[in-house]
Amino acid sequence: MRSREGDVPAAVTWGLLAAWAIHDTEELITMGGWVDRARPRLRRRFPRVPDRVWDLMRVTPAQAAIAIGAVGVVVAAAAADGARTGGRSRFYQAALLGFGLHTGSHVAQSAITGGYTPGVVTAPIVAAPFSIWAVRRLRRAGVPIDPGGSPASALLFAGGTILAAQGLARLLVRNRDIH
């Protein structure tokens, strides 16, 4: 199966959604309640951090599911746009590069916290390799890589999407709990 323009396999564009789904399934399973489970280790590692900070970092299973679903909508739209444009869409390329680059944050979080963090298993074995493969495949097909500026802008896109999704999830869960 090939994307619309014929020179880029659909696995390059729609594969973003598939790789994201695998990666975020790990996060869906582990993110909700992770801070509570990791709190003893985090307190030992960072004794000066007040409990209020750990409380603010808490993500419930409902919040995790909503945030992951919201990001999924963005990733699906990016993959579809990538398929429509043969991988040339800036939106798709920003999502692809942001997805790949964000894997470093998973590894860094685990190194900083001294243990498992949600997403750290699939980040280096699924997300990063897929992103590298897809970018190489796009280049081999002659597709210019321009996510709208630089790798930094792709990271900002990914980070902004994640923060917006987490904010939406917190708002929806808080409003649900109020009513």
Stretch 85-105: mean pLDDT, rounded? 92
Output the pLDDT for position 5: 43
Alpha carbon 9 to its chain's center: 22
Stretch 44-72: mean pLDDT, rounded? 91
Stretch 8-14: mean pLDDT, rounded? 95
Output the pLDDT for position 148: 63
Q: What is the pLDDT of residues 121-173, one digit of tens each?
A: 999 999 999 999 999 999 999 999 876 666 666 667 777 777 777 777 778 88
For the entire predicted model, the pTM comes to 0.84
Lookup: tokens for 93 = 């390329």
Lookup: tokens for 66 = 């909503």
Output the pLDDT for position 146: 78
